[in-house]
């Protein structure tokens, strides 16, 4: 939150690794996309509480973002 905008990893644990699915014995190799997304998908603030100025600040910060490495 260096810029005053709260962020988070929305799903840091992929759905297939959630405790409620342990009894299904899912093949983890079948969920590579889900695993990758859980490491890369960022959650940004959203909702009716945001003012137009808040939204503009978030958009401006996103437009300034330059990753240090590939986000493939």
- The model's pLDDT over 22-72, given as tens digits with 9 standing for 90+, comes to 899 888 889 988 888 888 888 899 999 999 999 999 999 999 988 777 655
Q: Could you list the residue range(s) of the whole structural domain that residue 52 is in?
A: 8-64
In-domain check, residue 41: yes
Report the half-sphere exposure of 26 (CA within 13 A, side-chain side). Answer: 15
Q: How far is CA 63 from CA 9, 10, 20, 59, in A?
A: 19, 21, 38, 6
In-domain check, residue 33: yes
What is the number of domains present in the chain?
1
- pLDDT level of residue 11 (50, 70, 90 thresholds): confident
The pLDDT of residue 71: 57
In-domain check, residue 53: yes
- pLDDT level of residue 19 (50, 70, 90 thresholds): very high
In-domain check, residue 69: no
What tokens appear for 26 in the block?
């899912």
């Amino acid at each position: 939150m260096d810029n005053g905008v709260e962020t988070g990893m929305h799903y840091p644990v992929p759905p297939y690794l959630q405790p409620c699915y342990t009894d299904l014995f899912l093949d983890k190799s079948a969920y590579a996309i889900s695993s990758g997304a859980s490491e890369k998908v960022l959650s940004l603030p959203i909702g009716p509480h945001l003012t137009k100025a808040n939204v503009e600040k978030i958009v401006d910060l996103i437009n300034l973002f330059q990753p240090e490495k590939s986000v493939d």
